Amino acid sequence: MRPLTEEELKLVFEKLAKYIGRKISQLLERRDEEYCFRLHNERVYYISIENMKRATNISRDYLACLGICFGKFTKTRKFRLQITALDFLAQYAEFKVWVKASTEQSFLYGNHVLKAGLGRITENTPEHQGVVVYSMSDVPLGFGVTAKSTQDCRRVDPTTIVVYHQADIGEYLRDEETLI
């Protein structure tokens, strides 16, 4: 468990900024206590500073995970957000997409969101912007990247992809061995 380097921190913040914008500071400077990001086994964890200090007494060999896993670095050193970060992305998300009930299951199986399944979308959402995908009853289902802007979504045909799938809560079942 170690602090992130400047380059690693930059990659993490760039990825988070796609989804929550300038609210990254609210993640680190919370009212209840301060939090930080730590790297352990190529995974980035979000942990309170108090718990991090307690964990320094545990050997790296015996430490499985620490805090909430926000994502991991790939072998090519790119940062990939994981579904375990959904609660925080949903809390601070700037842009949101709601899918119809008929499309929820398709999205949870890892498919993209088509225009026919789009319920609502936040106004002025740009193209290639990170969004949190919600059900019509405001339950966060996952996150993705818009393929079309809000204005373009109004003009496309129903079979056009409007949100590219990145992660969904179905991954808890599909990838349970690798999520730690």
Residue 168 near residue 130 (C-beta atoms within 8 A)? no
What average pLDDT score do residues 101-111 get? Answer: 93
pLDDT of residue 180: 63
141-164: per-residue pLDDT in tens?
Answer: 999 999 999 999 999 999 999 999
What average pLDDT score do residues 75-87 get? Answer: 93
pLDDT of residue 32: 85
**Does position 137 have pLDDT exceeding 90, yes or no?**
yes
pLDDT of residue 34: 86
Give the distance from CA 104 to its chain's centroid. Answer: 18
What average pLDDT score do residues 32-43 get? Answer: 88
**Does position 54 have pLDDT exceeding 70, yes or no?**
yes
The 3-state secondary structure of the chain, one letter per residue: CEECCHHHHHHHHHHHHHHHHHHHHHHHECCCCEEEEEEECCEEEEEEHHHHHHHCCCCHHHCCCCCEEEEEECCCCCEEECHHHHHHHHHHCCCEEEECHHHHHHHHCCCCEEHHHEEEECCCCCCCCEEEEEECCCCEEEEEEECCCHHHHCCCCCCCEEEEEEEECCHHHHCCCCCC
In this prediction the pTM is: 0.88
What average pLDDT score do residues 34-42 get? Answer: 88
pLDDT of residue 88: 92
Phi and psi, residue 122, nearest 5°: -60, 140
Model confidence at 24, pLDDT cuts 50, 70, 90, reads confident
120-132: per-residue pLDDT in tens?
Answer: 999 999 999 999 9
Residue 28 near residue 49 (C-beta atoms within 8 A)? no
What average pLDDT score do residues 41-53 get? Answer: 89
pLDDT of residue 116: 94
The percentage of the chain sitting over the pLDDT mark of 90, rounded to a whole number, equals: 67
169 token code pair: 């809560």
Is the model more confident about 63 or about 50? 50
What average pLDDT score do residues 12-20 get? Answer: 93
- Min mean pLDDT across 6-10, 11-15, 32-36, 116-120 is at 32-36
